[in-house]
Amino acid sequence: MESTSPVGWLSLLPPLITIVLAIASKRVVLSLLIGIVSAIVILLPSASAQQVVQGSDFTWGGYVWDSLSHGVVALLETHLWSTLFLSEDHLRVFAFTTLLGMQVAMIHQMGGMLGIVQWATPFIRTRRGGQVMTWLLGMVIFIDDYANTLLLGSTMRPVTDRLRISREKLAFLVDSTAAPVSGLALVSTWVATEIGNMEIGYKNAGIDIGDGAFGIFVKTIPTRFYVLFALVFVLLCALMGRDFGPMLKAERRALSDAPEDKSDSPDASDAIRGRAMNAILPILLTVLLVVWLLVVTGIQASGIENLPRISDFQAWGQIIGQGNSYVALLYGAMGGLIACLLLNIFQRLLDPEAVRKTLLQGFLHVLPALVILWLAWTLSNLTGEDYLGTGNFLADKLNQSSFNPAWMPTVVFLMSAGIAFSTGTSWGTMAIVMPMVIPLVYGLLAKQDGGAMIPPDHFLLTASIGSVLAGAIFGDHCSPISDTTILSSRSSDCNHIAHVRTQMPYALVVGLVSILLGTIPAGFNVSSLYLLPAGIAAMAVVLFLFGRHPERT
């Protein structure tokens, strides 16, 4: 079978160069740029190379100059410019992140964060309590992973600083709840994409599932072992108070050092006094606007005339899932910022010059994340199917082989993780892998059963679908070029590579448990009713045996 990538194994080189350089040098922007340049070099037009073959007019100077000029134009115009300015969705994410950064800065200067800290102090007196509260809030903001990441990190940072919880631990708490809880929620911005990819896969397999897509989607939830185990692992770390590896060192350093003073973001101590409502009202308005706009745009997209009953969660999940999350996030953040400005006017807290400086500080605070996001999107686009085809190439290698269907959930989990790690996008991974996996598993099952009809909710089909969704998030958690990983470190004001280094061992442990006590036995039809408690117990044992209390030397 012909490779789906025009360059074969070379398609893996740019993401690998980027990831290795980022971890080794701790310079994410430079690593991303080098990865982008390496991808462009691989994809350079062949016009100059043809001169070598033709021979007559070839000169090395002309060849080098032609290649260099093509490469510069491709870098600046074809990729960097078009990735951001020709993509409405990317521009909306930029605007949303900027507005939310300004909103957070205003909340800080108006005493909102200080008020949250003062309000939470009687309830959160210990490091355990601070971590559990962060986990709970992460579970509550389930509507979207971007909103979860940016709101949770900036809101809880003053609390965790006071409790001497490291920024690395905060970034881990934020990152390991955002995508998992949004991916599992029946009402979130993920639902339509996940179900849509499933429907394409079943269509490719020649299976008509009619209106049964949502039901099959629900049946995959118990088999998304990494997602479920990751959420529980975060809680176990908090309750048991144990850490290991680089995270343990970070926690001990946070306990021994004074809380960091970040000069690039407004400090709550500069506020007039603590006013919790100055944080609660804008954030609540942002979340409500996001939900409302998701419903409105979802209704428009679905074309329904009569709204479903309040108790019909399936219908509401489909409506919200079809909503335009980029529009909802943009105007939700805008509404929250306007609320901050109005509160400031009514309370007469900051003069116009102070407001201007605060808004500028908020923008500068998220600017590094915006730059990294821009470059990560560019690299992801270069590794996509229109250029290098990295994900399709990896998926194609699996598709060319023949496996015992019982091993497919594990193979699919590892393949999805590899693609997400290499490309930095869980959504892109789901879009690549799902349409291929469903017909592949269905074909293997039909062949094993002598051509018999296979039910669309066969346990191996649902387990393999769950493995796509879980593996994509697992790879995303380990990847330094993932957008949610980038936003988690920035919202927590944590060094990005420090976040990757401390989170990756935890993600690998959860991933290993997900394979040994999840995908492998699930492939042999062992029920999740037994596997989920066994996996949770195994993670608790790992923390007990290898984890240490940071407070104790």
Instruction: Give Cβ neighbours of residue 537 (< 8 Å, ≥ 6 apart).
Output: none
74 CB contacts (<8 Å, ≥6 apart)? 40, 43, 44
Are 531 and 522 contacting, i.e. CB atoms less than 8 angstroms apart?
Answer: yes
Tokens of 504: 């990756």
Maximum separation of any 2 CA atoms in the chain, in Å: 82
As given in the structure block, the two tokens for residue 213 are 């897509």
From CA 396, how far away is CA 104, in angstroms rounded?
44
> Is the alpha carbon torsion for 263, 265, 268, 272 positive or negative?
positive
Amino acid at 553: T
Strand, helix or coil for residue 243: strand
Encode 348-363 in three state secondary structure. Answer: CCCCHHHHHHHHHHHH
pLDDT tens profile 440-484: 787 778 777 666 677 888 888 999 999 998 999 999 898 888 888
The backbone torsions φ and ψ at residue 431, rounded to the nearest 5 degrees and listed phi first, read -70, -30
Q: How far is CA 245 from CA 64, 251, 343, 509, in A?
A: 47, 10, 45, 11
Q: What pLDDT band is residue 67 in, cutting at 50, 70 and 90?
A: low
| Structural domain spans, the chain | 8-85, 88-189+246-254+261-382
CB burial readout 320-332, b (16+ within 10 A) else e: bbbbbbbbbbbbb
More confident residue, 210 or 279: 279
Contact yes or no for 365/264 (Cβ under 8 A): yes
Residues 6+ apart with CB under 8 A from 345: none
8 Å CB contact between 387 and 381: yes
Contact 466, 219 (CB under 8 A): no
DSSP H helical ranges for 387-456: 390-399, 408-423, 426-448
Least reliable range by pLDDT among 307-316, 390-399, 494-503: 390-399
Above 50 in pLDDT, residue 264? no
- What local confidence, expressed as pLDDT, does residue 28 receive? 67
The number of residues making up the chain comes to 553
- Average pLDDT value for the chain: 80
- Give the confidence band of 271 by pLDDT, cuts at 50, 70, 90: very low
Q: What is the pLDDT of residues 300-312, one digit of tens each?
A: 887 777 778 877 7
Cβ-proximal residues to 342 (8 Å cutoff; 6+ apart), any chain: none
Helix (H) or strand (E) holding 337: helix 325-347
Using CA atoms, how far apart are residues 324 and 292, in angstroms rounded to an integer?
A: 11
Q: Please state the rounded mean pLDDT for residues 215-220.
A: 82
**Which tokens sit at 33?**
């740029």
Cα 134 to chain centroid, rounded: 18
| Predicted local confidence at residue 544, as pLDDT | 94
Q: Which helix (H) or strand (E) holds 192?
A: helix 191-204
Concatenated DSSP letters of 464-484 = HHHHHHHHHHHHHHH-TT-HH
Q: What's the rounded Cα separation, in Å, for the pair 123 and 65?
A: 66
Type of residue numbered 19: I
Residue range 508-547, pLDDT digits in tens:
999 999 999 999 999 999 999 999 999 999 999 999 999 9
